[in-house]
Amino acid sequence: MANNAQNVSVGKPKVGGAIYRAPLDTVLPVSATEALDEAFACLGFCSDSGLTNNNSAESEDIKAWGGDIVLSVQTEKQDTFNFELLEVFNTDVLKTVYGDENVSGDLTNGIEIVANSEEQEEFAWVIDMTLRGGVMKRIVIPDGKITNVDEISYTDNEAIGYNTTLSALPDSSEKQATHYEYIQAPVTHTVTFETNGGSTVKTQTIKEGGTAKEPSAPTKSGYAFDGWYSDEELTEEYDFQTVLAEDITLYAKWEVAIVNPTVSAEAAATTLFGTAVRDIQSNIRINNGRVTGTLKYLSTGEIADDWGAGNFIALKFTDIDSRATSVMVGMDPSQGSGLVEIIDDPDKNGVFKVTDKDTQVFKVVSSDGTNTTTTTYDLSGLTIKEA
């Protein structure tokens, strides 16, 4: 096989935790990616000296008379791991260093540590790391024991750390293995976006354990985008914080949009203020959902303080596809939920404003026969007066 620089890698701790320990009877993983048993406790951050593994044999040479080496006999083969634990408030770390029976309490209520000469217990260990290109490497130590902790230094310019040596012991298998190593390319999942007639959204490939990235909203003529859903029926809105464990398809939901609407006004009652109304004039604009401008009417007779029941004007919103909907401006409750109340004429000058806080903002509902949309408008900038 030819040289391949892609096979050269560094070893970085897995995000979320690298070194774990659990009781000896805990179920051990047999791959680099499967989830750990919940009994495994994470020991948190390690120093930048990383992890070292001494797995070399020692031997003794047998010499013949005359000095020639005629045989080399293996006398021992240690399998040790060295790392420096930094989380000095983590009780699992403290138990690793001092022994489980010698650490009690918690940081909130106080931690008590007893230092003594009791022998350390044996535990199962897992060490996770990430190699080049997201390749996962996992070291599984079925039976390991802390055999040394270097002197602990307390200074004002260095982090406190526990430089720890873990000795791996033979397991009960036929091979009497001291540790196992698993290496695997990252598992990925595909996120497909079904836009239901909208603009194309690129498929995402996400590593297992990651989350999909919410894309920019797609577009569709005459419609407003209303989110991504995990089912075709559009009943379950998707949470982009969900950790991926399989391929998924997300579905776009749309509402009919009143796009760039124009607004006009027309008389919808025979009388206003008890007099005939004609020649409704409007100079009305819409900007970011706010209706502004003046609606003028012509009438004869005395101007009343309030509009009476049955008196209203219809504001008609027409979008670019000629779908139309309207909202009534007046004081007749019989006109239903579309009614926007004009409370009074506070200055007694025949100029009316939409002053009711509950009705200054109203919603216009439009439908294309299949889908409906609700668009919110603010009427607080609209003035209604006699021409």
Same domain, 237 and 167: no
294 lies in some domain:
yes
pLDDT at 50: 92
State how far the alpha carbon of 90 is from the alpha carbons of 14, 17, 61, 332, in Å.
19, 13, 47, 68
Structural domain that includes position 354: 262-386
Same domain, 180 and 77: yes
DSSP 8-state code for residue 5 = G
pLDDT at 177: 94
State how far the alpha carbon of 193 is from the alpha carbons of 56, 196, 219, 257, in Å.
52, 9, 13, 21
* Mean per-residue pLDDT pooled into runs of 10, the chain (387 residues): 80 83 95 92 93 87 87 84 95 95 94 93 95 90 95 94 95 93 91 95 89 92 86 94 92 72 47 46 63 58 42 48 45 38 44 47 49 58 63
Same domain, 118 and 217: no
Same domain, 45 and 106: yes
Residue 131 three-state SS: coil
DSSP 8-state code for residue 95 = H
1 lies in some domain:
no
Same domain, 122 and 226: no
Same domain, 17 and 121: yes
d(CA 196, CA 251): 7
40 lies in some domain:
yes
184, 200, 217 - which closes a domain:
184
87 lies in some domain:
yes
d(CA 267, CA 329): 10
Same domain, 245 and 373: no
State how far the alpha carbon of 212 is from the alpha carbons of 179, 239, 283, 286, in Å.
35, 9, 47, 37
Same domain, 90 and 138: yes
Contacts 24+ apart (CB under 8 A), 331-339: 331/306, 331/307, 333/309, 334/309, 338/362, 339/312
Same domain, 19 and 83: yes
Look up the pTM and report it.
0.56
Same domain, 292 and 372: yes
pLDDT at 141: 96
Same domain, 252 and 105: no
Quote the distance between the C-alpha of residue 55 and its chain's center: 42
Same domain, 354 and 318: yes
